[in-house]
Structure 1
Amino acid sequence: MHCFRDKLLKLMQSVNTYGVSCPLLYIKLDFVEKMELEVDENIVFKKSLLDMDSLVDKALQDLEYYESLVCIKNSYSEAFIYAKLQSLLHIEKIPETSSSTPDFKVRHKANDIYIELKSLNMVEGNLKHKTVMHSAMNAKIDAENQIANGSNVGFGFHVIQPYKTGSKEYEADSVRLVIEALISKIGQNIKREQYGLGTTILLVDLADQLPLHSQQEESIQQQYYDIDNRAKLSGELWYVAFGKIGDEIYKISGLKGGQCSDGRLQKEGVLREHPYIKGIIFHVKDCFYGLAPLTRENVSATHFIEYITTAHSFSSS
């Protein structure tokens, strides 16, 4: 198991030679080294490494098989998030059984809090993966041809459209599109029984796969003011959690700046659609950001989310 990093590096190099793989961009080799060093003392690291090891073997046989690459990233995400939470408080991995259960259990202020982890991937990634890889390879070929023809530097360009669905025209500036896509991605495979053991939080790892228009701190506000564009805009993650069908969403108005309508929300926010989920924590660009209903019955969840987001922010600074 202590040579897994080298095997993973071989996969990354093979993919980079051929093109690019979005799921693998999330993985940090120095953390994989940490996992290998601590594998004998950490059951989560051990399981993730074993799962990743067999998946890397499959991926090396077919670099275009997206599902293997996603599963590698998901196994890594579980270990990575577990380690981050473990640095802040006592955490247990809940053993997998035939029935659906959350992933982790933590103890906070004499309360048991359960955590269900979901690691996201780009929309319709299984359909886009080959196109993204081929586009990246063509960009590399263009750059190499420029150098071969005498240029000192070669440039190649390729485009990744993480929220594009089907043949619809891609609205790269749409805030509403991001909100609705995230609601849909998070809503896939939510099982009520995973939230039945007690106060349960949903932890969503965006895993560098689905970018936001706003800065993270702005995204958890219902509205925020964009100084550069002189506009009051909608925070994506706030609406992912609390949005209501029919809410008007605001984005930047073209090249002139200012505010304009991005249409009305067509999906219900995750915490409204699934009220048994007591709060939601987003892992974005290596930081935690959380939202929860501020009710008397939900005090343990709100206190826990406040602790995680502030304690991790402090420990990362």
Structure 2
Amino acid sequence: MNALLDDSSFGVNPHLTNKFAQILGEAHFWLMCLDKGLRLTRIAEVKNKKTPDFSAPVGSQSIYFEVKTLSVVGGDAGIADALHSSLDAHIDLEAQQRAGARVAIAMSEAQPYGDKVKHDQTLLSVINTLVEKARGNIKADQFAMPNTFLVINLSIIPPFITEPKALRPAYPDDYMFPKAVTGDLWTLAFGRTGMPILGIPEFEGKPCVEGLFDKVGILADQEFSAVAGLIFMIHPWQRPSELWGLFRGADRTQWEDGNPDLLQQLQALTGKLWNDCGDTNGWQLQ
């Protein structure tokens, strides 16, 4: 990390900024786990071999974590746009100050979702983008060991909401008028092709269905059966960062019967902020 910060181009280099965010996400997850009583060990990188980022002993077995900080739409190019906008704003502020302005105001723009969000399909667009980014970050070799969990850090590209009800298939929402809204993170994990996505219409009487989901959630896709579960790093404005979990119902049952130490550790990390494909814990998620 020091090498990145010492680079003279760090402040304007989108690739270095993106790389820094990945390292920072891993360090933050390590600290969050330590705060909850789980000390992780960094797994040494091996040339030409993909491995998870962290491991920890749990009873007679081990638990593994692969941490991915999802970048903005467009990756380095999207970050470059935000950096350029910020630089232009600073130049504008300095120009106003040189002109004698007592109060200088300028605006910069950051668009994590770029042009991916479509009018009248905001929630569907967010879900599709997060699914595409998460799937693109899964490398099979990194999940070869049993009990390997994918940690998705959403510090750069935020979810639709940062309330735990996003872990439910759908949740009641009474803003302006009563309606049901699809949980974006639950759908990322367990969504099925053809599932209607319920969004937030502009007014009463406007259709609530934004469209049909045309993908398959990560934990519902046989291609990613080696992923033991999803841990989300959530960063609300009004609360400290939190760890949320989504797990297959069948896996939780298996852990209860054959690996209670693993289940206990997962519960220590997430507390009440978890759910499964059957919405078993939905009653605790508000």
TM over 0.5: same fold? Answer: yes
Within the candidate set 8, 14, 39, 1:90 is matched to: 39
1:267 corresponding residue in structure 2: 215
Q: From the superposition, tell whether residues 219 and 89 of structure 1 become closer, same or farther in structure 2 (CA, over 3 Å).
A: same
Show the counterpart of 2:106: 156
Please name the residue that 2:269 is paired with.
Answer: 308
Amino acid at match of 2:268: Y
- Identical aligned residues as a percent: 26
Q: Cα distance 1:169–1:151, how it changes in 2: closer, same or farther (>3 A)?
A: same
State the number of aligned residues.
258
The structure carrying a bigger helix percent of its residues is 1
Alpha carbons of 1:63 and 1:146: their partners in 2 closer, same or farther (altered >3 Å)?
A: closer
Distance 2:85 2:189 in 1: 34
SS at match of 1:153: coil
- State the TM-score, normalized to the length of structure 2: 0.79
Does 1:124 find its partner at 2:79? no
- Could you say what the CA RMSD is over the residues aligned between the two structures, in angstroms? 2.9
Whole-angstrom CA distance in 1 between matches of 2:209 and 2:218: 22
Q: Where does residue 33 of structure 1 map in the other structure? A: none
Out of 88, 105, 126, which is 2:55 matched to?
A: 105
Q: Amino acid of the residue matched to residue 307 of structure 1?
A: A
Q: Deviations over 1:67-100 (max 9, x none)?
A: 1111122122222211221232232222222322
Q: Aligned partners of 1:302 and 1:173: how far apart in 2?
A: 37
User: Is this contact kept in 2: 1:92–1:104, CA < 8 A?
Assistant: yes
1:17-96 alignment runs, 5 A limit: 52-58=1-7, 60-61=8-9, 63-87=11-35, 88-96=37-45
Q: Deviations over 1:29-84 (max 9, x none)?
A: xxxxxxxxxxxxxxxxxxxxxxx1222233x2364321111112212222221122
Cα separation, 1, equivalents of 2:170 and 2:185: 11
Paired residues of 1:164 and 1:170 also in contact (CA < 8 A): no
Residues 100-146 of structure 1 show CA distances to partners (whole Å, capped at 9, x for unaligned) of 22111123344421111111211113222332223233344555666
Larger RCO (CA under 8 A, 6+ residues apart): 2
The amino acid that maps onto 2:172 is: Y
Answer with 302-311 or 209-218: which moved more: 302-311
Change (3 A) 1:218 1:302: same
Contact 1:139 1:157 in 2 (8 A): yes
Query: Would you say the 8 A contact 2:146–2:228 is kept in 1?
Result: no
Output the TM-score relative to the length of structure 1.
0.72
What does the per-residue CA deviation read over 1:226-267, in whole Å, with 9 as the maximum and x for residues that have no partner? 222322111111111111121111111125698711211122
Question: Which stretches in structure 1 are left out of the alignment for 5+ residues?
Answer: 1-51
Per the alignment, residue 28 of structure 1 pairs with none
